[in-house]
Structure 1
C-alpha cells in the first residue's frame, strides 16, 4: 500500500521516536497551549519528538510455501515499515523543521528505496528531498507543512492539515477498531496464509498506544512529473514522451499505456501550469478521482505528469479497494512498538 501522497506526508514522506503515548502532555516548548486549536493540540500530542512522533505504516508482502506447508515472507520483494516524522517543539513559537526517517517493523525485512516525487515549480523540475525536509507552522487553527526540494530551499508542495482526531488503543491488537486495519497498511496483517497468521493475535497494545486520523489539503496547484517511458530515472530530467515534438498541438493523439486510453487534443485544455505550457485532461484519472493527466512542453519535448488542484483533499483508497476516504492513519510510538513485537515474520 504505497501511496504517492503518504510518502510526502510523513517525513516521507518519508520520514520519521522516542517513547510516547496519545496524550497531549508536554508541549515540548515554553509556549502555552492555551492559544492552540483542538487540531493543533492533537497534532502536538503525537508530532513532538518528546511525545514520540508520527508513524505512518506502509508495506507490501509476498510469500512462498515449502513442500511441508511452511510459509515464509520473501525478503527480496517484501517490506513493512513506518515513515516517521517529528518536530522539536511547538510551532506556536515559530516554524519548526521536520525530522524524517523510516523504520522497518520486521527485523527480517529492509525498507525499500524511497522517492518523494518530482515536481514542476515555476517552469523547472525539482526532486523532493529524501528524507523529507519540511517546515511546519500554524496557519490559523490549522497545521501547515511546506515540503522542500533536495536543494533545501525550494518549496515543492504545501499541505494544510485541518483535522487531527486521536484514538486511544488498548486490549488485543486483533480487537482494534476496524477502520485502522481497513484504511491503513496494518490491514496486511489480517491475511492468513495456509492457516498461519502474520502476527500474534494474543498480543495487546502497549500502555499509551494510540493512532491519529489526519485530513490534509493541497495548498496551491501541484504538478507532479515522472518518466513517460523507459528508461526510468530519479533526477530532475525525467524521460519524455517525445523528445522531437515540441508543441502540444502536434503531440496528439497520444496512446497512454499508463492510463489505458488514447488521448485526443480535445480531451483536455491547454493552460499555463506551474510555469509551463500544459495540456490538462478534462476527466480525472486514478482511483481517487482527484488527479488529472498532464502533458507539458519542456526542454524541447513533451513530458507527462499529473495535476492536483489547489484545495484538493488528499485521499486514499482502502486496502481492499472501495470508496476513497480522506483520513490518513498515523501511529504513535507506543503503538508502533506494539506492532513490531507482535509480528510473526
Structure 2
C-alpha cells in the first residue's frame, strides 16, 4: 500500500518543526500534525491509546563508498503504511518499515532519510537520519599524502648501475609529485596530474619515460610518459586509479589499490628498512650512490600498497623502429593475423618463436587478437606482473604487445639477490608491491644522493 500525496505532504511537513495544524483526514479526533501523535488521529485523538506512534526512530548510518545503508523505523498502530523520503523527496517503492539504499556514492554523503508512517488512527513523520560516508584505512593513508596541501605523493623513477660510476645519457634518477585538490569521498572522482620531472641528481640529465600505448576498443591509445593523468575514485575499501590517455578523458587502463601501510623513516638513510632499500635496489646496493652519514628529515615516511589490474589490459609495442605516437610500427604488413601466426613470429625479447598453436585467436573490441597460452618469461618483463605475448591485426598490419589479465598483481621493481646466478629468475627477487614517498622522505633521499 502506498500513501497518498496529500498524506505524505502533510506528514513530511511535520519534519519541519511540526508546524502544520489540521492536515486533513477529518473525522472524529481531528487535530494538529505532530511527530508524536500523527495527523488527524481518527478515534483515538493525538496521543490516544490507538494512535499511530513511532517507538524507535531511524538511526544515523556510516558506510564505505559503494556499500548500502539500511534505515529502520519501529511503529505501532493499525493498518500501518510507510513512505521513505530522501532529503524530503519521496523514494519510489520504499514502502516498508526498513529501507536499504542502492550502493552509495559521494553524492549521498550527508543525505537525510526519514519516513512517514500512516495508520488507521493517524499519520506520523519520523525524525531524519543522516547518511555519512567514511574512509577505509587504505583511503585514509592515501589521503594523508595525496590530499595534504603541505605534503605530496612522490614517485621515483631511476636507472642506476648496481656498482661503479653512472653514465650520463643512460643512467638517471628523477621524481614526479602528485596531489588532488579534494577528497574523492565527498567530492567524487579526482584527477591528479604529476608535475614535470624533478631531477634528483646534479650530474645525470633526466631521461623521461616513454609513453604507454594501449589497444582498446579497436584503436591505439597513448598514455603520456610524462605527466600521466590519473583519476582516483573510492570503491568499497579500496581505491580505483584510472590512467587517462593523452586526451585527458579516455580511460586507457585502471588498477584497484589496497593493502596500504605507512612506514616512518628516521635516523641514517643507510639504515632504511629492507623492503624500501631493496625496492629502490641500486640506490642502496651501489656504495657510490648515497652520501655516508646522510639522515632522514623529520616526518619522513613511505607508503606501501598493492596494485591489482582491473580489466584485461592490452599493451601495444613497436615491433621495429621505436615511436612515441599511436602509429606503432608493425611486425608485418598486408597479411592476416592467422596467416602470420601460422608461419610463426619470432620474438627476440621472449627468446622464442610464437605459432598459432601456442595460443588462442580471438576478437577484442572488433580487432583480431592472438594471445599466448604461456606467460612471458621474467627475463623479458623484469617484473612479477604476469603478462602474455599478443599479436593483433589492425588496418591490414600485424602488431605485437602484451596482455595483463584482470586481477593480476602489478609488480614493482626487483632486487639483485644473487648476482652470480646463471639465470635471471635466480638472480632477481621481484616485489609485488608499490612504494611512494612523502615530501620529507623524498627530500631526504634527494639530499643523500652523491651523484
- Pairwise CA distance, 1:72: 5.5
In 1, Cα distance between equivalents of 2:440 and 2:450? 19
Task: Look up the match of 1:79.
Answer: 172
Aligned to 1:52, which of 137, 140, 151? 151
Residue-by-residue CA offset, 1:168-225 (whole Å, 9 max, x unaligned): 001111111111111125x434313xxxx32222111000000011101111110000
In 2, Cα distance between equivalents of 1:47 and 1:305? 32
Contact 2:278–2:284, Cα closer than 8 Å, also in 1: no
- Pairwise CA distance, 1:108: 2.4
1:140 aligns with 2:231: no
Task: Look up the match of 2:331.
Answer: 241
Secondary structure at the residue paired with 1:77? coil
Question: Is the alpha carbon distance of 1:315 and 1:202 closer, same or farther for their aligned partners in structure 2, counting shifts above 3 Å?
Answer: same
Task: Look up the match of 2:257.
Answer: 161
Contact 1:63–1:72, Cα closer than 8 Å, also in 2: no
Task: Look up the match of 1:280.
Answer: 371
CA-atom RMSD in angstroms:
2.3
- Pairwise CA distance, 1:120: 0.6
Secondary structure at the residue paired with 1:125? strand
What is the 5 A alignment of 1:210-249?
A: 210-229=301-320, 231-249=321-339
Gaps of 5+ in 1: 1-29, 65-70
In 1, Cα distance between equivalents of 2:160 and 2:185? 40
Task: Look up the match of 1:105.
Answer: 200
Task: Look up the match of 2:405.
Answer: 309
Task: Look up the match of 2:97.
Answer: none
In 1, Cα distance between equivalents of 2:254 and 2:361? 24
In 1, Cα distance between equivalents of 2:175 and 2:272? 19
1:172 aligns with 2:263: no
Contact 1:62–1:77, Cα closer than 8 Å, also in 2: no
1:149 aligns with 2:245: yes
Aligned to 2:362, which of 236, 249, 271? 271
Contact 2:135–2:237, Cα closer than 8 Å, also in 1: yes
In 2, Cα distance between equivalents of 1:177 and 1:62? 21
Contact 1:158–1:220, Cα closer than 8 Å, also in 2: yes
- Pairwise CA distance, 1:141: 0.9
Aligned to 2:286, which of 176, 191, 196? 191
Higher relative contact order (CA 8 A, sep 6+): 1
Gaps of 5+ in 2: 1-108, 111-131, 379-383, 417-426
- Pairwise CA distance, 1:37: 0.2
Secondary structure at the residue paired with 2:175? strand
Residue range with higher mean Cα deviation, 312-321 or 134-143: 312-321
Contact 1:200–1:344, Cα closer than 8 Å, also in 2: yes
| Count of residues paired in the alignment | 304
Aligned to 1:336, which of 429, 435, 442? 442
Residue-by-residue CA offset, 1:217-265 (whole Å, 9 max, x unaligned): 1111100001012x21111111101012123234331211121101111
In 2, Cα distance between equivalents of 1:184 and 1:79? 13
1:89 aligns with 2:182: yes
Task: Look up the match of 1:9.
Answer: none
In 2, Cα distance between equivalents of 1:280 and 1:294? 5
Task: Look up the match of 2:396.
Answer: 300
- Pairwise CA distance, 1:333: 0.5
Task: Look up the match of 2:93.
Answer: none
Question: Is the alpha carbon distance of 1:159 and 1:275 closer, same or farther for their aligned partners in structure 2, counting shifts above 3 Å?
Answer: farther
Residue-by-residue CA offset, 1:93-149 (whole Å, 9 max, x unaligned): 211110212211113222212223000110001111341112111111111111111
Task: Look up the match of 2:136.
Answer: 37
Question: Is the alpha carbon distance of 1:199 and 1:275 closer, same or farther for their aligned partners in structure 2, counting shifts above 3 Å?
Answer: same
State the TM-score, normalized to the length of structure 2: 0.64
Question: Is the alpha carbon distance of 1:257 and 1:315 closer, same or farther for their aligned partners in structure 2, counting shifts above 3 Å?
Answer: same
Secondary structure at the residue paired with 1:199? coil
Contact 2:334–2:397, Cα closer than 8 Å, also in 1: yes
